[in-house]
Amino acid sequence: MTQPFVHPYIPNSAPETKAAMLKAVGADSIDEFYVDIPADLRMNRPLDLPEALVAEQDLVSHVQALLSSNVSTKENLSFLGAGTYNHFVPTVVDEVINRSEFLTAYAGEPYEDHGRFQALFQYQSLMGELLNMDVVNVPTYDGFQATATSLSMAGRMSGRRGVIVASDVMPDKLSRVQDFVSPNLDLVFVPTVNGTADVAAVAALVTDQTAAIWLETPSFTGAVETAIQELADAAHAAGAVLVVGTDPVGYGVITPPADQGADIVCGDIQSFGLHQWFGGAHGGFIAVHDDPKFIMEMPSRLFGLESTDVPGEYGFGDVAYDRTSFALREEGKEWVGTAAALWGIAAGVYLALMGPEGMAELGETLLARTQYAQQELAALPGVELTDSALHLREFVVDFSSSSVSAHSVVETLRGQGIEPGVVIGEYELLVCVTEMNSQTDIDRLVTAIAAVTANAAVTNTQEKNA
C-alpha cells in the first residue's frame, strides 16, 4: 500500500482532513470540482518532472550543489558594470527587506499595511531629496521600463512622435525602449562628440514634432553630460521636454538634472542597496515636478501622505488612482502591476543610512577612483581612453594602438582571477570602478593589463623585425 501524499506546504493533504472537507461540501471526490474541464483537455499522465526532493535537507543539498559551482565576484576581482553594479550593501538594508512582514506582504490596504505605505512614501521622499524633485513613483520594473515610460509620457503629453537621442545608450536598454515605444514614438539618433551630446546637432533637429530630447548621464560609457541646461533650453523652446536617464549614485556631489532644466528624470535603483544577483535585482524610478500634466501620465502608483481621525497621526493613500490600469483597464496609462516595491524599500533604507554626508562621500570616492583608474590605464603604452569627458564609475579603454583585442585582454586577465570589464568593440573595453575597488585592486588591474600590452608590443616588434 502506498503512503498517502502529505506535504509540509499543504496542510489539508492530511487524509482525515481531506475526507472531512469533501464530506462537508458534499463531494465524493476532488474530480467533481473539475467537471467544467472537458476530457480532451485533461492530462492523462503525470507531469514529467524530476523526482521531488520532499525532505528539506535533500532539497538544500541539491540546490547548494548546483549553485556551488559558481565563482562569484567575491572570489575574483571584478570591474564589470554595464547595467549591474557592485556597490556596498549596508547590512541593515538586508535586515529590513528580509523581514517577513515586508517580504511576504502584497497588496494590503493602508490600514493593515501601513508600514509598506510609509516605507514607500519615504523611498519616494528620499529619492526626491537626492534628485531635487517633488514626485517619485513607487518603483517600476527596472531602469529600462522607467525610461521607456518616461519617453512615452512625453509623447502622450505633447501628442508628438519625435524623440532625439542625444547620448550613447546601453544597447540592451535601447532595445527595450525601442520595442516598447515603437507604436507611439520615432527615435532619431545624434552621434556623441567626445563621449557627450553634440548640443548644436541635437538643437538643430528639434522641431514642432519633437516630444522629447533623451539624454543619458552617465551615459553607457560613463560619460557625465555637462550641457544639460542647453539641451533643456533647446527642448523647451520647441514645447518639448528633456528626459534624463541616469544612475543617481553620483548626486551626492553632482548637480541633479532637475536643477538644470530636466523635466523627467528616470533610471535604475540597483546601485542603492541591492546586490548584483546575476543581474536580477533592478528597479525603475521616474521623477517629475509637482505638475499634474506630468503626474497624470505616470502609470505607477504614487503613495501620498494623508491625515487621519486622530490629530498627529499619519495616514497614506493612492494619489490620483484613476490614471492607472487598475482603475481603468486599457484606458489607464500603460499598466501597473507587481513590479519592484521591495527594492524601493531597500533603496530608501540605503539613502537613510547614507544621509547627505554618505552620498557626498560616495560620489567623491567614485569620481576619485574612476579618475585614478583612467589615469593609470591611459599612462600605459598602447592603452588609450576613447574620450576626455568627465566620467563617473565607467569609462572605455581602447587597445587598438597595441593591436590587442579587448577579448584577448579579458581572456588573459580571467586566467589571473580578474574580470577587467565588458567588451564593447574589437579593441574597446568598458571598465567599471566602484567604491568596492580599492587603489590596490586598481593597481592590480593596471599591472595585469600592462603585461598584456607589453607582451603584444614585443610580439609586434618581433613581427616587424622578422
State which of positions 316-335 bind other proteins (CB under 8 A). 316-322, 325-332, 334-335
Asked if residue 118 lies in contact with residue 131, where contact means CB atoms within 8 angstroms, the answer is no
CA-to-CA separations, 36 to 208, 273, 390, 413, in angstroms, rounded:
57, 48, 65, 61
Exactly one of 161, 205, 226, 451 binds other proteins (CB under 8 A); which one? 226
Beta-bridge mates of residue 397: 385, 429
- The rounded distance, in Å, linking the Cα atoms of 163 and 172 is 18
Spatial CB neighbours of 276, under 8 Å, sequence gap ≥ 6:
73, 84, 85, 86
For the bound state, the minimum distance from the C-beta of residue 382 to other proteins, rounded and expressed in Å, comes to: 21
Stretch that binds other proteins, among 32-40, 161-169, 237-245, 451-459 (CB under 8 A): 32-40
For the bound state, the minimum distance from the C-beta of residue 398 to other proteins, rounded and expressed in Å, comes to: 19
Classified as helix, coil or strand, 126 is helix
Q: Which is nearer to other proteins, 292 or 381 (CB)?
A: 292
For the bound state, the minimum distance from the C-beta of residue 454 to other proteins, rounded and expressed in Å, comes to: 21
For the bound state, the minimum distance from the C-beta of residue 462 to other proteins, rounded and expressed in Å, comes to: 30
Chain positions 265 to 294 lying near other proteins, rule: CB under 8 A, are 268, 275-283, 290, 292
Exactly one of 1, 3, 28, 109 binds other proteins (CB under 8 A); which one? 109
What is the total count of residues that contact other proteins (CB under 8 A)?
A: 211
Q: Which of 257, 277, 217 is nearest to 84 (CA)?
A: 277
For the bound state, the minimum distance from the C-beta of residue 67 to other proteins, rounded and expressed in Å, comes to: 4
- The three cell numbers locating residue 43: 492530462
Identity of the amino acid at 196: T
Q: Does 219 bind other proteins (CB under 8 A)?
A: no
Stretch that binds other proteins, among 3-11, 236-244, 395-403, 445-453 (CB under 8 A): 3-11
Asked if residue 85 lies in contact with residue 269, where contact means CB atoms within 8 angstroms, the answer is no
Chain positions 49 to 108 lying near other proteins, rule: CB under 8 A, are 49-54, 56, 59-60, 62-64, 66-76, 78, 80, 82-84, 86, 88, 90, 92, 95-96, 98-108
For the bound state, the minimum distance from the C-beta of residue 209 to other proteins, rounded and expressed in Å, comes to: 19
Exactly one of 233, 236, 315, 457 binds other proteins (CB under 8 A); which one? 315
For the bound state, the minimum distance from the C-beta of residue 430 to other proteins, rounded and expressed in Å, comes to: 10
Exactly one of 136, 240, 258, 452 binds other proteins (CB under 8 A); which one? 136
Spatial CB neighbours of 213, under 8 Å, sequence gap ≥ 6:
163, 164, 166, 202, 206, 231, 232, 234, 235, 240, 241, 242, 243
Side-chain-side CA neighbours of 44 within 13 Å: the count stands at: 4
Asked if residue 331 lies in contact with residue 368, where contact means CB atoms within 8 angstroms, the answer is no
